[in-house]
Structure 1
Amino acid sequence: MENVNPNLITCIVQRGEADRVVQAAMQAGAQGATVYYGRGTGIREKLGFAGMFIKPEKEIILLITKNEQTDAVFDAVVKAAGLEQKGQGFAFLHKLDRAIGFVSK
């Protein structure tokens, strides 16, 4: 089995934004993604009036990347989702010790 030093990028975005984010991740080298739905709480209340425009329904995107792809994919996700702006969502990275079923190119 090839050791690919996998990482997990998790990105949570506003409902309806996942397709664009996944497309950007794939163009940056990701080989696939898993998208599912969730409901967020907290940020809407903290932003006050501006929080009224943030929908609680979210899309959660999971991307497994090889170590050498991770920075490019993460940066593409941040840009495509507009995560520099408050209330647009967030992304985080996990280093994985082991993974199986990961297909490398």
Structure 2
Amino acid sequence: PLSAHALRSFIRAYANVPDQPIALSLQAWSRVLCRGDERRIRDAVRAVIAQLAVFHSPEDLWLAFCVSEERRAEYDWVKWLPHTLQAEAHDGAGPVRRVVTT
């Protein structure tokens, strides 16, 4: 009984450990939706996008963004990632980028 009580107390105390990194397997998902505190989510999404772009080549990873008009300035930087290029389609500036405003 004492061990069971200690185990339950331990689980309650450490069930949620704040400020820890997380691992996501994105292979099973075609899109990801994030909800929560807006600033923290935006910072986390920016970090995930940067890590994806750094650790995966544009041949291995394509990125596409549908951004609302209100958030366009916050995500304007993603247009420079080669992972957003759509090589098959061209416009006046070169390959079309997979970044659109909704």
Q: TM-score, normalised by structure 1?
A: 0.26
Question: Between Structure 1 and Structure 2, whose CA radius of gyration is higher?
Answer: 2
Larger RCO of the pair (alpha carbons < 8 Å, separation 6+):
1
Q: TM-score, normalised by structure 2?
A: 0.27
The structure where helix makes up a greater share of residues is 2
The structure where strand makes up a greater share of residues is 1
